[in-house]
Structure 1
Amino acid sequence: IWEEGGMLINPLKAERVSKGSTISACFNFINSIIGSGIIGLPYAMNQAGLPLGIILLIAVGFVTDYSIVLLIRGGNLSGTSSYQSLVQNTFGFPGFMILSALQFLYPFIAMVSYNITAGDTLTKVFLRIPGVGPDHILAERHFVILLSTLLFTLPLSLYRNIEKLGKVSFLSMVLTLSILVIAVIRSATLGPQIEPTENAWSFAKWNAIQAVGVMSFAFICHHNSFLIYNSLEHPTLSNWSRVTHISVGSSLVISAAFAVAGYTTFTGYTQGDIFENYCRDDNLATFGRFCFGFSIITTFPLECFVTREVVSNVLCRRDLSKAEHAAITVLIVTMCTAISLAYDCLGRVLELNGALSATPLIFILPSACFLKLSPGHFYQGENLIPTLLIIAGLFVMITGLTSTLINPDDCSHGVEMFYCADINCRRGLACFPLRFVLTAQGLS
């Protein structure tokens, strides 16, 4: 279930929404792109190198724009009105099962990332409460994840109809923009106080392919493309192209601004969750953590609705009973919580989701459907670009997935970054020897 213009709609059943203007469609599309994935874009710059990272981010934006238009063109050629029906019409039941698996994995892994982020961000928010110290239970990420699951995400996910959550669509976007403003402010005020790492401004780094996975996760919005297209007052390909260009272009500008602001502040120290880099006594960053934590808690149930709907369509092919609905929901939420309790490296989770599910949904499937429906050879005319996208998508998927699985973790979650002690020294606050802080974090 995805929130569009205050309404909750089901992409797996392709329900038609009320007709709206181009401006309304653009707002809905931007809101579907700009989400929690933006928090990992500074980490993507760290993986790829800032200059190459910006180039790759722009490239992913252009591919996203092109593949969304291509998706609708494929729907027009096949006479279908949803991603699922397009793939099933083109590749039959095997194609439907592959798409269903990807549509399950993408929100499922996203929910794991939401829990990890909640544990990372909210613990530092609680640490600002008087009387809550590092040894307090509210500073324990496992307890915070369990608490947020039991009090918020599980009860909200158990709703069969969550129309009330549709009201947070605009609020979520406002909170995201607030986080962007905070990142820009801290880039100007905190960045000059942190010594750049060696090779911080190198053109390229070896982990660029993994960075593409994170960027793909941030930009994926194909799940509701048909729904927004059908919501247009005049759903023509030219109008859709205009909506897509405006929406993806605006999202690209916002994403690039956040990625550059975050990376230039912390350079090589940038974590998968950018809020892990800010100091605990930074009140502005604490407000940003609160905004982001609230945003992902309200987004989690929407992702859970999608995974549950996929399970329902594949296994049951009917509406779930109350008992089945509750059992499947509890199972999904429990699995996500267990994984997030056992693993806390957000950057790796974003890379995995980007390579495993987002890349085929953006690069491969739309292009494959168009090639199957379009006349002519795959290497001729307008079929050439989709062919190249399939090749690029397979390369990014295989290389990125392999690199993510074999490379060791490099996270330092829950640890105060060493430069915070140095900054406090300069401010005349609590000061610890820098060597002690570095040693405590295992840094040389």
Structure 2
Amino acid sequence: MELQKMNGHTKEDGFDGLDIINPEREEFLPHKLGGKKEAHFTDFEGKTSFGMSVFNLSNAIMGSGILGLAFAMSNTGIVLFIILLVSIAILSAYSIHLLLKSAGVVGIRAYEQLGNRAFGPPGKMLAGCIITVHNIGAMSSYLFIVKSELPLVIQAFLGKHENTGEWFLEGNYLIMIVSICIILPLALMKQLGYLGYTSGFSLSCMVFFLISVIYKKFNIPCPLDEHDNSTHLTPNITDDFCEAKAFTINSQTAYTIPILAFAFVCHPEVLPIYTELRDANKKRMQQVANISILAMFVMYLITAIFGYLTFYGGVESELLHTYIKVDPLDTLMLCVRLAVLVAVTLTVPVVLFPIRRAVQQMLFPEKPFNWVRHILIAFVLIFLVNLLVILVPSIRDIFGIIGATSAPSLIFILPGIFYIRIIPKEQEPMSSRPKIQAACFAGLGFIFMVMSLSFIIIDWVTGESRSAGGH
């Protein structure tokens, strides 16, 4: 029996569809929470299909971090990498479970309003700021890829061996053109669900990338001794260089957990997608999340394995750069680079929606939908991200700080502490197993945060250049 419709206007929202097959279903029964009714989003009607929701969430998960997974595997070994990847995927799904359960109990479908219910206005501002900072960092990283890669792709397709200074080979001009012609029109759509079509196309581009990685495994020899520039990839060739390692421990191994954790960050998009899901309930949205995470898990694993088995110890932190060094004029890999550019460009509008929603929740919580405000916020956000990408020559350290603080907060810390605060004590006392698990989960996030920040500080102190990937 479906008691709750999408807009969140009814008291039955707390039932969250009762989730009858769930052994913890009693946690979704209605109960008195006291206080005034929380604000709900009223500008969406929940018309997005299950499949489109899967495309949108999968696209939110899929990020530029996929290019660094083969490098991560080379620093952990195949077995250890698979163990870590499975663990992070399960933890990410559990994190979404905590968010959906908290949202279902109190009838709220906004990350910021969960923060408000848990800790009042400070919690609302904290959640909104973390989402805004993290997603602006993600948008900037995608546009940095466009800025650096698109001129090289155009140059290669034109047969030019060097940049001759034309305006269409200038990265700053290209990101402005891409932002105005592609990103802004998509960002102006009223509902995130409409981006399911572009998300599906974006994912198909990444599938093309995946197929190309598999194909190249059987066409590139190891140790690349047939290529003049193979020495760039295999500086220290040993007898076992072309043998896959099950377990590897080195100075780069500790970076793998942050890389994988960041690769599964999609939590700011979960509740907006939940809001727009047709016939929504917790069980249905959890299925969307599980399918999306499973699909990305398979893509991540296959990409990492075949990328690693192509170059072994010679794989670089960004997989595409490794292929280009082997053969800069490889037509297939140029097409792959173009496909990746399309994929990251079409992901930017999906990432922008949660930022706009966070801004609206922080600045205009009681205001109804307004097209002028909707358009203005999108324009300002895109303008600021373009300005950041143009003016800052290298923001690796800035992104490192953002990623080390916001990603663990969104995946582990906030879902855990929100769950502890929102679920009533009479329903689940602090000594209950679910709340103990949530507390341990939040604690794990603090450990990840401290660990990631420590690696960045060590890099600064030692002056070593390490690449930690990113979402």
Which residues in structure 2 correspond to 1:303-322 (within 5 Å)?
303-304=351-352, 306-307=354-355, 310-311=358-359, 313-314=361-362
Q: What CA distance in whole angstroms lies between the structure 2 residues aligned with 1:371 and 1:107?
A: 25
Q: What CA distance in whole angstroms lies between the structure 2 residues aligned with 1:173 and 1:252?
A: 13
Code of the residue aligned with 1:225 in structure 2: it is V
Q: What CA distance in whole angstroms lies between the structure 1 residues aligned with 2:422 and 2:361?
A: 25
Q: CA distance change for structure 1 residues 16 and 380 in 2, over 3 Å: closer, same or farther?
A: same
Q: Which residue of 1 aligns with 2:15?
A: none
Say if 2:413 is the partner of 1:385. Answer: no
Q: What CA distance in whole angstroms lies between the structure 1 residues aligned with 2:401 and 2:92?
A: 19
Q: What CA distance in whole angstroms lies between the structure 1 residues aligned with 2:153 and 2:363?
A: 41
Q: Which residue of 1 aligns with 2:30?
A: none
Q: Which residue of 2 aligns with 1:255?
A: 300
Q: 1:343 aligns with which of 390, 394, 418?
A: 394
Say if 2:165 is the partner of 1:137. Answer: yes
Q: Which residue of 1 aligns with 2:455?
A: 403
Which residues in structure 2 correspond to 1:238-249 (within 5 Å)?
238-249=283-294
- Cα deviation, 1:110-141, whole Å, max 9, x if unaligned, reads 1221133224432432342345122433699x
Say if 2:261 is the partner of 1:212. Answer: no
Q: What CA distance in whole angstroms lies between the structure 2 residues aligned with 1:158 and 1:20?
A: 21
Q: CA distance change for structure 1 residues 391 and 290 in 2, over 3 Å: closer, same or farther?
A: same
Q: 2:282 aligns with which of 234, 237, 242?
A: 237
Unaligned 5+ segments in structure 2 are 1-39, 225-233
Q: What CA distance in whole angstroms lies between the structure 1 residues aligned with 2:314 and 2:172?
A: 29
Q: Which residue of 2 aligns with 1:148?
A: 174
Code of the residue aligned with 1:299 in structure 2: it is T
Say if 2:315 is the partner of 1:273. Answer: no
Code of the residue aligned with 1:392 in structure 2: it is L
Q: 1:161 aligns with which of 188, 209, 215?
A: 188
Q: After TM superposition, give the deviation of residue 396 of structure 1 in Å.
A: 0.7
**Percent of aligned pairs with the same amino acid:** 23
- Cα deviation, 1:249-302, whole Å, max 9, x if unaligned, reads 222111111122222323333333221111212221111001111222333344
Root mean square deviation of aligned Cα: 3.3
Say if 2:156 is the partner of 1:128. Answer: yes
Q: CA distance change for structure 1 residues 344 and 144 in 2, over 3 Å: closer, same or farther?
A: farther
Q: What CA distance in whole angstroms lies between the structure 2 residues aligned with 1:304 and 1:144?
A: 25
Q: What CA distance in whole angstroms lies between the structure 1 residues aligned with 2:457 and 2:341?
A: 27
The answer to whether the 8 Å contact 2:68/2:317 transfers is yes
Q: After TM superposition, give the deviation of residue 392 of structure 1 in Å.
A: 1.2
Q: Which residue of 2 aligns with 1:292?
A: 340
The answer to whether the 8 Å contact 2:223/2:237 transfers is no
Q: What CA distance in whole angstroms lies between the structure 1 residues aligned with 2:53 and 2:444?
A: 30
Q: CA distance change for structure 1 residues 355 and 210 in 2, over 3 Å: closer, same or farther?
A: farther
Q: CA distance change for structure 1 residues 175 and 20 in 2, over 3 Å: closer, same or farther?
A: same
- Cα deviation, 1:169-199, whole Å, max 9, x if unaligned, reads 2211111111111111112322534369678
Q: Which residue of 2 aligns with 1:83?
A: 111
Q: What CA distance in whole angstroms lies between the structure 2 residues aligned with 1:87 and 1:40?
A: 33
Q: Which residue of 1 aligns with 2:127?
A: 99
Q: After TM superposition, give the deviation of residue 333 of structure 1 in Å.
A: 2.1
Q: What CA distance in whole angstroms lies between the structure 2 residues aligned with 1:221 and 1:15?
A: 22
TM-score, length-normalised on structure 1?
0.77
Between 321-330 and 269-278, the greater mean CA deviation after superposition? 321-330
Q: Which residue of 1 aligns with 2:32?
A: none
Q: CA distance change for structure 1 residues 176 and 310 in 2, over 3 Å: closer, same or farther?
A: same
More helix by share: 1
Q: 2:207 aligns with which of 173, 177, 197?
A: 177
Q: 2:271 aligns with which of 208, 216, 226?
A: 226
Unaligned 5+ segments in structure 1 are 1-11, 412-444
Q: How many residues align structurally?
A: 394
Q: CA distance change for structure 1 residues 325 and 84 in 2, over 3 Å: closer, same or farther?
A: closer
Q: 1:31 aligns with which of 49, 55, 59?
A: 59
Q: After TM superposition, give the deviation of residue 365 of structure 1 in Å.
A: 0.8
Q: What CA distance in whole angstroms lies between the structure 2 residues aligned with 1:295 and 1:358?
A: 21
Q: What CA distance in whole angstroms lies between the structure 1 residues aligned with 2:287 and 2:119?
A: 29
Between 367-376 and 80-89, the greater mean CA deviation after superposition? 367-376
Between 124-133 and 314-323, the greater mean CA deviation after superposition? 314-323
Say if 2:118 is the partner of 1:70. Answer: no
